[in-house]
């Protein structure tokens, strides 16, 4: 990876435990989608990958292990500043709390600060 990479849940997903015509959004991913909407330049500075709801989420598992596949998650580029609250797996640092991710993105890549 050459940039910070943000994994989000695709909006409008279905769930196997609900009727097929019901659509859902992840409130944590939506918080970050809102940040991206008001700061469109962020999308040019980081990689954004939207994944379907069902687990296993192989692209995340391949990078962070099965125990860290919850979304959203921001995987930090090795050259990026390392926040004190970052988690680590296999030499990769990452954030999984949507508010921490939003604050980090705004501080490191955005024009607005939270």
How does pLDDT run across 11-43, given as a tens digit for each residue? 999 998 999 999 999 999 999 999 999 988 899
**89 contact partners, CB below 8 Å, separation of at least 6:** 63, 64, 65, 68
> Is residue 75 classed as helix, strand or coil in its secondary structure?
strand
Q: What is the domain range of residue 95?
A: 5-109
With a cut of 80, say whether residue 113 has pLDDT above it: no
> Is 48 among the domain residues?
yes
pTM of the predicted structure, to 2 decimals = 0.93
> pLDDT band at 2, cuts 50/70/90?
confident
Parallel, antiparallel, or unpaired for β 47-51 and 87-89?
Answer: unpaired
With a cut of 80, say whether residue 46 has pLDDT above it: yes
User: Could you tell me if 15 and 26 are in contact, meaning their C-beta atoms sit under 8 angstroms apart?
Assistant: no
> Is 37 among the domain residues?
yes
> Is 45 among the domain residues?
yes
> Is 69 among the domain residues?
yes
> Is 114 among the domain residues?
no
Q: How many structural domains comprise the chain?
A: 1
With a cut of 70, say whether residue 67 has pLDDT above it: yes
């Amino acid at each position: 990876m050459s940039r910070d990479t943000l994994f989000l849940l695709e909006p409008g997903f279905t769930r196997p435990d609900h009727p097929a015509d019901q659509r859902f959004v992840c409130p944590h991913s939506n918080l970050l989608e809102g940040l991206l909407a008001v700061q469109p330049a962020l999308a040019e500075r980081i990689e954004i990958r939207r994944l379907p709801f069902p687990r296993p989420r192989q692209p995340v598992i391949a990078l962070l292990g099965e125990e860290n596949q919850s979304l959203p998650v921001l995987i930090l580029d090795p050259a990026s500043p390392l926040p004190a609250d970052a988690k680590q797996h296999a030499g990769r640092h990452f954030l999984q709390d949507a508010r921490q991710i939003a604050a980090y993105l705004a501080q490191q890549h955005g024009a607005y600060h939270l």
